A and B are shown apart, each in its own frame.
Chain A
Amino acid sequence: MSFFSTGKIEKEVKELIHQHIDLVDQCLMDLNKMLVSACAKEGQCPEFTIRIHNNETAADKLRRVILQKIEKGAFLPNLRGELLKLIEIIDDVANRSETVGDYYVLYQPEFTDEEAKTLVEIGKMTKVAFDLLKEAYGSLFKNFKKTVEKCAEIELIEEQIDTIEWRIRKDIFKGEDLAMNILKKDYVLLLCDISDKIEDASDMLEIMVVRRKA
């Protein structure tokens, strides 16, 4: 046995985290499809919700496997805790996607066409932010500068989503049905919460970089 782990377990963990991120990405893609389907009033939302559920469950299981691998001694001690925190935040993206899907299917908030289009737009922007997060994570292992650049881009997108969220919430309350307005407002909050979590993950990545600047 070598004095140190030869890096095999690190490579394995790195790959497993990639797989975990891909599963969370799949949740977001299905959520976006659900938003488009809801916008087009196609009635396929429950199908997409089930798919989100399945991918979220798979991501959860994978997260536990990663946790066990990391605890066996992969990476340096400080990095272990930070990676676990990062995975936890990314996993929360899948959890929030699931909540948004469930909320729509269970309570069926009735959005106007324009509002539905805005929600699709928010979904797309959220997906772009997540793609940037994937890139930021990928470059964490070889290129800190790129990680920081991608995190900065995520922050910009998140700000844009916040602006749209503020506008749509304001518009929602122009409707007369107060109960429906509250239902719709809560749905928007949940949807926009996903990009907040992506921003949290990018913040975590930035912290990881800063702590390794010697």
Chain B
Amino acid sequence: MSFLNILPKILPGTFLGWGLGANDASNIFGTAVANNIIKFYHAAILASIFVIVGSFLEGPKTFDTVGGLAAITKGDLAAITLGAAVSVAFFTYLKLPISTSQALVGSILGIGIIKGSDIDLKILLKIVLCWITTPLGAFIIGFILYAFIKWIFSKFNYGVLFYSIFIKVGILLAGIMGSYSLGANNVGNVTGIYAVHMKIANLPFGLSSDRFWALLGGISIAIGIMTYSKRVMETVGKKITNMLPMMALISVVAQSITVYIYTNVGVPVSTSQAIVGAVAGVGAVHGFSSVNFKSIGRIAIGWLMTPIAAGAVAIGTYFLFKLF
């Protein structure tokens, strides 16, 4: 299959990637950009580069999970990704929390159910378990990491200059790490199902089909970051400015570690839910009263609502495609 033949079919996937980049980069560089610690275009360039690198090097690790969830055909791919992309765009417009991973899984299941395809319950269980353990894992990692950093900092004397340099360099490194993890983990949402169901041969530079799809997904996420993430970064960033800089930094690191762990488990997870868990974990070091249970409740609603809504939209898209 040549690239020109597949181009029209993958447009919904790249649209999903664009939306993912526009939204999820805010979890990584939002605080830094909203507070002028780093300029937007510097953050966007860094995030784009490392999202592509992460996608290319480790993205294929999650492809099989997404692609193997249900027995779907090539013809369903556009309806699935468009269904997920529309759901993401719609929920984002309503300012409701949405996970691209959950939207995509909802879309795949929706189409799978309507067509009576086999659904791999083992993979589904693995995915659902990962969804639940993502904020939980981020909470634990955030808690341990922040408690450790607090202990280290209590052991020596320092001033504002050291503290500021530590935070600034830390935010830069955490941003790079977060971008890499985002690409490595979430590119599976964007082009994972294409990679499994549309193998491409004879690619230049000896590129494998999976690497091609990972690169394409990474680029589409990067385009979303470069073109439309500024507003989201500023909005999300300002919401958490009340946090101490060290807490914000550790939250991003904890989120990145969590998301990276799930890359190696082979399941794309929600970076937004990971950051909420991480923020709660870091906050819990100062006492559990500082944990925002409202946010956790919103995550729980997201777990339930997102796949259902995305599944419904995907079914609608599927029938719409059938008409034409």
Whether B159 and A140, one on each chain, are in contact in the complex, defined by CB atoms closer than 8 angstroms, is yes
Q: Are B172 and A214 in contact (CB under 8 A)?
A: no
From A36-44, A142-150, A180-188, give the one contacting chain B. Answer: A142-150
Stretch at the interface among B60-68, B149-157, B213-221, B291-299: B149-157
B35 within 8 A of A: yes
Asked if A10 is at the interface (CB within 8 A of a chain B CB), the reply is: yes
A77 and B38 contact, Cβ closer than 8 Å, known pairs A10-B164, A141-B161, A212-B160? no
Interface: A208 (CB within 8 A): yes
Query: Would you call A145 and B38 a contact (CB within 8 A)?
Result: no
Residues of B13-36 at the interface with A, using a CB-CB cut-off of 8 Å, are: 35-36
Inter-chain contact B160/A141, CB cutoff 8 Å = yes
Nearest-neighbour CB distance to chain B for A91, whole angstroms, equals 20
Of the residues B154, B157, B165, B168, contact of A143 by C-beta under 8 Å: B157
Of listed B153, B164, B241, B245, residue having the most chain A CB within 10 A: B164
Complex interface bits, A118-140 against B, C-beta within 8 A gives 1, otherwise 0: 00000000000000000000011
**B322 contacts the other chain (CB 8 A):** no
Partner of A214, one of B37, B149, B160: B149
> For the complex, is A8 an interface residue (Cβ under 8 Å from B)?
no
Q: Does B167 reach chain A (CB closer than 8 Å)?
A: yes
> Which size bracket describes the interface of A in this complex?
20 to 34
Residues of chain A with a CB closer than 8 A to B320's CB: none
Q: Within 8 Å of chain A (Cβ to Cβ): is B244?
A: yes
Partner of B159, one of A3, A75, A139, A214: A139
* CB closest residue in chain A, given B162: A142
Given A3-B42, A78-B245, A214-B153: A141 in contact with B159 (beta carbons within 8 A): yes
What residues on B are CB-neighbors of A147 within 8 Å? 159
B319 at the A interface (CB under 8 A): no
Q: Mark A39-78, 1 if CB is under 8 A from B, else 0.
A: 0000000000000000000000000000000000101111
Could you tell me how many residues of chain B have their Cβ less than 8 Å away from some Cβ of chain A? 29
**Does B288 have its Cβ within 8 Å of any Cβ on chain A?**
no
A144: shortest Cβ distance to chain B, in Å? 6
Judging by beta carbons under 8 Å apart, are A214 and B246 in contact? Answer: yes
Chain B: which residue is nearest A208 at the CB level?
B160
Smallest distance from the beta carbon of B30 to chain A beta carbons, Å? Answer: 13
Beyond A4-B172, A76-B37, A76-B245, is A213–B154 a contact (Cβ under 8 Å)? yes
Q: Are A4 and B37 in contact, CB atoms less than 8 angstroms apart?
A: yes
C-alpha gap A142/B172 in the complex (Å): 23
Closest to B172 in A: A3
Distance between B167 CB and nearest chain A CB, rounded to angstroms: 6
For B149, what are the chain A residues with a Cβ–Cβ distance below 8 Å? 214
Q: Say if the beta carbon of A79 comes within 8 Å of chain B.
A: yes
**Bound Cα distance A142, B157 (Å):** 8
Interface flag for B324 (CB, 8 Å)? no
In the bound complex, CA of A2 to CA of B246 (Å): 22
Say yes or no for B205: interface residue by CB 8 A criterion. no
Chain A residue nearest in CB terms to B158: A144
Shortest C-beta distance, B120 to chain A (Å), equals 44
Kindly state whether residue B90 has any CB partner on chain A within 8 Å.
Answer: no
Chain B residues packing against A (C-beta within 8 Å): 35-39, 42, 46, 146, 149-150, 152-154, 157-165, 167-168, 172, 241, 244-246
Interface residue ranges, A against B (CB under 8 Å): 3-4, 7, 10, 73, 75-79, 139-145, 147, 208, 211-214
Q: Give me 19 other A-B pairs in contact (C-beta within 8 A), A10-B164, A79-B164, A214-B149 excluded.
A: A7-B165, A10-B161, A76-B35, A76-B37, A76-B167, A77-B36, A78-B245, A139-B159, A141-B160, A143-B159, A144-B157, A144-B158, A145-B157, A208-B160, A211-B244, A213-B154, A214-B146, A214-B152, A214-B246
